[in-house]
């Protein structure tokens, strides 16, 4: 039982001339939640589909529950639950009947009715798949992934396109799986999701791991000063007023507002004096710093710091 749920070493995957995964290494522990976090096209889905046995690796080593995902697929299939990014259900199949079918493939499944109720799918139990909303389709797909009581589940973007209530229901279910000792590997580009759900976050960019650790390790549990303004602020001037090494990052404008994040750099955390310096400078520059607060650095900040702020093609 001490083998990892998933172990990936130097994984390489090519599609024609493009290399989607370029020597990716990570491992996921049993009974914990691991998030593969990265921008679109980073190689998350390729990686997860190789682990699921859908695609073959062009290089490297992959072990799922200690076994080879392709060669040992017959032994692995009952033990591993899979939620694809979309589809996977005939358009004419009704929600409950499809879940019952998935349950019937397993020796000791969860009663489908309990899962439908938990995921709020009872009202659409007899609705054909094509008439379900995107969120309902996602939740049915999630139910299908867990109905066989697997040891390990792969969830490819489980909350993409979900409304807030459905997202909460999905998060609750992932937490319950973890509680029950199921290993969960999920992909997401939703920072809050990775931060709230995972024990371990693997940040992937351009086909390789660029950082990994617990959310706390990754964010360094550091604080920063945040405020927003109506008019642009001269960030160089503000930085000059602060202790050396401090940084002022401009974000936005979003909704016509500018957002600023001020960090103390490598010198540690912003203290009371640091905050006073920021506000004093604002006063002297005639800037009204709205929404001013000292907050913890989020995974989003780390993510943008590592993967860069430029827009990606995909």
Partner 1 sequence: MSEYTSTASARAGAATPVAADASLFTPAPGAAPMWRMVASQTGMELRVMLRHGEQFLLTMVIPVLLLVGFSLTSVLDVGEGARVDALTPGVLALAVMSTSFTGLAIGTGFERRYGVLKRLGATPLSRFGLLASKTLAVLGVQAIQAVVLCAVALALGWSPSVTAGGVLAAVALVLLATAAFSSLALLMAGTLRAEATLAGANLVYVLMLGLGGVLFPTSSFPGPLEQAVSALPITALSSGLRTVLAGGSPPGAGAFAVLAVWALVCGLLASRLFRWE
- Provide the binding-site residues for partner 1, judged by CB under 8 A: 52-54, 74, 77-80, 82, 84, 86-93, 97-98, 100-112, 114, 144, 146, 148-151, 173, 176-177, 179-182
Using DSSP's 3-state secondary structure scheme, residue 173 falls into helix
CB of 23 or CB of 120, closer to partner 1: 120
Q: Omega of the bond prior to 253 within 30 degrees of 0, cis?
A: yes
Q: In the bound complex, what is the minimum distance in angstroms from residue 111's beta carbon to partner 1?
A: 4
Nearer to partner 1, 17 or 107 (CB): 107
* CB 69, min distance to partner 1, A: 11
Distances (CA, A) of 89 to 102, 130, 131, 185, 220: 11, 9, 12, 22, 42
Q: What is the CA radius of gyration of the chain?
A: 23
How far apart are CB 166 and partner 1 at their closest, in Å? Answer: 17
d(CA 165, CA 185): 22
> From the CB of 204, what's the least distance to partner 1, in Å?
22
CB nearer to partner 1: pick between 172 and 305: 172
Cα gap 152→91, rounded to integer Å: 27
Asked if 31 and 178 count as a contact pair (C-beta separation under 8 A), the reply is yes
Helix axes of 164-179 and 134-146: crossing angle, nearest 10 degrees: 10
Q: Considering beta carbons, is residue 14 or 100 the nearer one to partner 1?
A: 100
Q: Is 146 helix (H, G, I), strand (E, B) or coil?
A: helix
- Strand boundaries in 163-220, DSSP class E: 183-188, 200-205, 208-213
**Least distance (Å) from partner 1 to the CB of residue 295?**
29
Of 137 and 159, the one with the shorter C-beta distance to partner 1 is 137
- Looking at beta carbons only, is 173 or 264 nearer to partner 1? 173
Shortest Å distance, C-beta 154 to partner 1: 9
């Amino acid at each position: 039982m001490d083998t990892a749920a998933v172990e990936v070493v130097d994984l390489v995957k090519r599609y024609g001339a493009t290399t989607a995964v370029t020597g990716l290494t990570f491992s996921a522990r049993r009974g914990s939640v691991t998030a593969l976090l990265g921008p679109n096209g980073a190689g998350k889905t390729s990686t997860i589909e190789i682990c699921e046995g859908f695609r073959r690796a062009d290089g490297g080593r992959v072990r799922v529950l200690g076994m080879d995902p392709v060669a040992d697929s017959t032994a692995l299939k009952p033990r591993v639950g899979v939620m694809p990014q979309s589809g996977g259900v005939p358009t004419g199949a009704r929600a409950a009947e499809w879940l019952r079918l998935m349950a019937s493939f397993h020796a000791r499944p969860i009663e489908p009715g309990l899962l439908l109720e938990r995921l709020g799918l009872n009202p659409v139990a007899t609705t054909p798949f094509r008439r379900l909303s995107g969120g309902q389709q996602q939740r049915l797909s999630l139910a299908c992934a867990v109905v066989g009581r697997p040891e390990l589940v792969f969830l490819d973007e489980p909350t993409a396109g979900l409304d807030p209530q459905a997202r909460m229901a999905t998060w609750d279910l992932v937490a319950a799986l973890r509680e029950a000792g199921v290993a969960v590997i999920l992909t997401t580009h939703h920072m809050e999701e990775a931060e709230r759900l995972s024990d371990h976050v693997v940040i992937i960019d351009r086909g390789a791991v660029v950082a990994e650790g617990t959310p706390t390790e990754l964010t360094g549990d550091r604080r920063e000063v945040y405020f927003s303004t109506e008019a642009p602020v001269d960030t160089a001037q503000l930085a000059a007023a602060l202790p050396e090494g401090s940084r002022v990052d401009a974000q936005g404008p979003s909704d016509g507002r500018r957002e600023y994040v001020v960090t103390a750099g490598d010198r540690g955390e912003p203290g009371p004096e640091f905050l006073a310096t920021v506000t004093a400078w604002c006063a002297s520059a005639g800037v009204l710093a709205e929404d001013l607060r000292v907050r913890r650095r989020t995974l989003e900040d780390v993510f943008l710091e590592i993967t860069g702020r430029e827009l990606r093609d995909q």
